[in-house]
Amino acid sequence: MTIFHLSTECYPVAKVGGLADVVGALPKYQNKIKGVNAKVVMPWYNKHFVYDYDFEVVFDGFIHQGSNMLQVQVMKETTDVLGFELFMVKIPGLLDRENPYGYEDESFQFLAFQQGVLHWLTAMKIRPDVLHCHDYHTGLVPFMIENCEEFEFLKGVKTIGTIHNGEYQGMMNWDMINYMPAFDHHKWGLLDWNGFINPLASMIKCCSAFTTVSEGYLEELFVSFRGLESLVREEFSKAYGIINGIDTDVWNPQTDPMIDFNFNSKNALKIKKKNKAKLCKEYGLNPELPLFAFIGRFATEKGADLLPDLIWRSIKQSFGGLNIIVLGSGNAYIEQQLKELDSVYSNFATDIGYKEHLSHKIYASADFLLMPSRVEPCGLNQMYAMRYGTVPVVSYTGGLRDTVKDITTGGSGLNFTYPGVDDIIHAMSRALNVYKNKAQMDELVLSNMKFDFAWEKSAEKYLTLYKN
């Protein structure tokens, strides 16, 4: 069975969020299953990876976007270093940039990527068994292979759409139809949602099946999906919730080259303290105090707007009895507030930016991980934290609800129902009580490290879905 994963992100090539981690791991684990050949196709980015490894041109052609003729080159990484074949689509002026997102012409960018991929497969007579489309950036693929005459060769190929985050749907005005491949305009309804072209809605309508990255998130979409609630209810018969896994080759405290001192469940209690002491020294924190951490994008869906208020209030109410470290970037106002707090409070440190190596060090050092998410389709951070013996303090939503049960029910972390500062501080107070009870804290650290979040189970579930 041949599977092509289409995505705008893939770790370690280009990463903005959890999408990259999933696409960088799932096909690798699928390829460990007999008879499966999973590949990844993504846009070309001018990042270190493309210069550190060798690529060869496997296709060179042209597509039209309106009256513009665009060159399409498909480059293949020659060594399969990631555990799967990696193809990168290069289109001068659109798919040859530094970053995946943040450009004013994103609609043209993602449309050209999808059209370029399908043009390559059609021209080279490559007909996979499954096209696995990740998020709205590839959401028009199911529509185009069934309705665009140019891609008649691919008609009937099964398509799976995975919703990593339904907050982003890629809506476009109808004038963008002039830049799409020709199709029977009687089929316009398969693109439309509330007067806009909505790639995510189109994916749900046209794909063979669609998945969310946790069962809990699928349940939430039926009642909260930024306007698509009725659509997901209409198409529920082809909806599946499959929890993400983590790449245990990358996220392994015993072998992780990014942390200062490696450890396993036998020596974790001792070695985590060494990592914590080193990190605290670097950021001017007191290693004798419990260390809370936040790692992620500064976005309201992640609850990052709560951080400034949460930080000063938790420090004040605990009488300086805790440390907090924050790693992330995003909203400029939140960034500025955190920088100001960093200059005022000795119990708080922040590092602005995306720094993969530092995130590993924090997981290996922190006592507690804060995830005050309003929306969390799956969440990988809580799984990374538990793998490294760090206790998650999370809102009871989406994938967090599926993976972190409260300690009062014999679970692995501390839950709060409402993502507000009062509820979070209450959960942090409970965490401080756990920290003071050394026997309970030690047991929690060691038991969390034993949780199995590896990709094997989820990879098998996807394979069963493909076969069905």
Same domain, 205 and 302: no
Where does the pLDDT of residue 3 fall: very low under 50, low under 70, confident under 90, or very high at 90 and above?
very high
The rounded distance, in Å, linking the Cα atoms of 406 and 413 is: 5
Domain assignment of residue 252, yes or no: no
- CA torsion, points 163, 168, 170, 173, in degrees to nearest 10? 130
Same domain, 76 and 140: yes
Same domain, 289 and 195: no
Domain assignment of residue 461, yes or no: yes
The confidence score (pLDDT) of residue 247 equals 93
Domain assignment of residue 257, yes or no: no
Same domain, 320 and 189: no
The rounded distance, in Å, linking the Cα atoms of 192 and 346 is: 53
Tokens 């950036």 -> residue: 137
Same domain, 294 and 224: no
Write out the two tokens for 85.
């074949």
Instruction: Check residue 237 and report its DSSP letter.
Output: G
pTM: 0.92
Cβ neighbours of residue 28 under 8 Å, at least 6 residues apart? 38, 82, 83, 84, 247, 455
The confidence score (pLDDT) of residue 90 equals 98
Where does the pLDDT of residue 227 fall: very low under 50, low under 70, confident under 90, or very high at 90 and above?
very high
**Orientation angle between helical segments 456-467 and 18-30, nearest 10 degrees:** 70
Same domain, 326 and 241: no
The rounded distance, in Å, linking the Cα atoms of 220 and 398 is: 7
Domain assignment of residue 104, yes or no: yes
Chain-centre distance of CA 130, in angstroms? 21
CA dist list (Å): 224 to 9, 228, 229, 298: 25, 8, 6, 22
Residue 15 known to bind ligand: yes
Q: Which phi and psi (to 5°) does residue 195 adopt?
A: 85, 10
Same domain, 160 and 56: yes
Where does the pLDDT of residue 41 fall: very low under 50, low under 70, confident under 90, or very high at 90 and above?
very high
Domain assignment of residue 401, yes or no: yes
Same domain, 419 and 395: yes
Domain assignment of residue 262, yes or no: no
Where does the pLDDT of residue 15 fall: very low under 50, low under 70, confident under 90, or very high at 90 and above?
very high
pLDDT in tens, 192-211: 999 999 999 999 999 999 99
- CA torsion, points 168, 181, 43, 5, in degrees to nearest 10? 70
The rounded distance, in Å, linking the Cα atoms of 304 and 258 is: 25
Write out the two tokens for 246.
């983590």
Same domain, 324 and 209: no
The confidence score (pLDDT) of residue 125 equals 98
The confidence score (pLDDT) of residue 85 equals 98
Count of domains in the chain?
Answer: 2
Give the mean model confidence (pLDDT) for residues 430-448. Answer: 97
Domain assignment of residue 253, yes or no: no
Domain assignment of residue 255, yes or no: no
Same domain, 447 and 461: no
Tell me if 444 sits within 8 A of 412, measured CB to CB: yes
The rounded distance, in Å, linking the Cα atoms of 388 and 449 is: 6
Same domain, 285 and 168: no
Q: Which phi and psi (to 5°) does residue 234 adopt?
A: -65, -35
DSSP letter for each residue of 285-342:
--TTS-EEEEEEEE-GGGTGGGHHHHHHHHHHHTTS--EEEEEEEE-HHHHHHHHHHH
Same domain, 286 and 402: yes
The rounded distance, in Å, linking the Cα atoms of 7 and 24 is: 10
3-state secondary structure of 97: strand
- Owning domain of residue 422: 267-451
Which of 378, 318, 347, 16 is CA-nearest to residue 162? 378
